[in-house]
Amino acid sequence: MLNQLRRATSTTTLGADGKSKTSLSNTANLATGAAARALAGFVMSPVTVLKVRYESSLYAYTSLASAAKDIFKTTGAKGFFAGFGATAIRDAPYAGLYVLFYEQSKISLFGHLNIAAPLANFGSGVLAAAAATAVTNPFDAVKTRLQLQPERYKNAISAAKKMITEEGAMCLFDGLGIRMARKAISSALAWTVYEELIRRAEDKIVT
């Protein structure tokens, strides 16, 4: 989906070597990353809610099936989308910022270095993930509270206010170190593979 959005919003120019070159503006990178991730988050929301509830010590679920039955019984179908607003607020900006930081890192930091493309992609992925994670971690903290205790936290705004009032602003950065490390490695690996697959697909089209 992201690749299709990027193709639709890219511009094609003729380079000095006579070859066509496609590029995206910073706004396009931000918007396509955010749009693709928001839809993915909506589709995956029921799975995420089940995972968070099942892993939490607040609930004594013995299986995913029992967790699903309890959620549906107590909150209805909307229970499977608890915290989606906060998730979208976190994930859409994260994905948009990630794509923006990633592309800028490739150009500004690695564009002038004589290193293999996969290494440049991996390095850009690590830096972009770390930066985007630091900016969006408060939304992740709020999202987790909403999914764990929907009866206590009604929406993202009230949850954030209650968290800050009761625990201080630093609670919005709980888990930042672990999340940053996980995101940096997973995102870098994913984008390195993504870029390589896209490159090979384009090479096949050319040949």
CATH number of the domain enclosing 174: 1.50.40.10
* Alpha-carbon span 140 to 144, nearest angstrom: 6
**Averaged over 85-94, what is the pLDDT?**
81
Tokens of 184: 């940096």
Query: Could you report the per-residue pLDDT of 122-174, keeping only the tens digit for each?
Result: 999 999 999 999 988 898 888 888 878 888 888 888 899 999 999 999 999 98
Question: Three-class SS of residue 12?
Answer: strand
- Classify burial at 81, counting beta carbons within 10 Å of its beta carbon; exposed 0-12, middle 13-18, buried 19 or more: middle
Confidence of residue 100 (pLDDT cuts 50, 70, 90): very high
Tokens of 57: 């010590």
Domain span at residue 144 reads: 2-206
Split into its structural domains, the chain has a count of: 1
- More confidently predicted of 90 and 105: 105
* Alpha-carbon span 83 to 44, nearest angstrom: 12
- Classify burial at 46, counting beta carbons within 10 Å of its beta carbon; exposed 0-12, middle 13-18, buried 19 or more: middle
Question: Three-class SS of residue 109?
Answer: coil
Angle at 45 between CA 150 and CA 142, to 5 degrees: 45
Res 18 pLDDT > 60: no
Query: Could you report the per-residue pLDDT of 42-82, keeping only the tens digit for each?
Result: 999 999 889 888 888 788 788 888 889 988 998 899 889 98
Tokens of 152: 């206590």
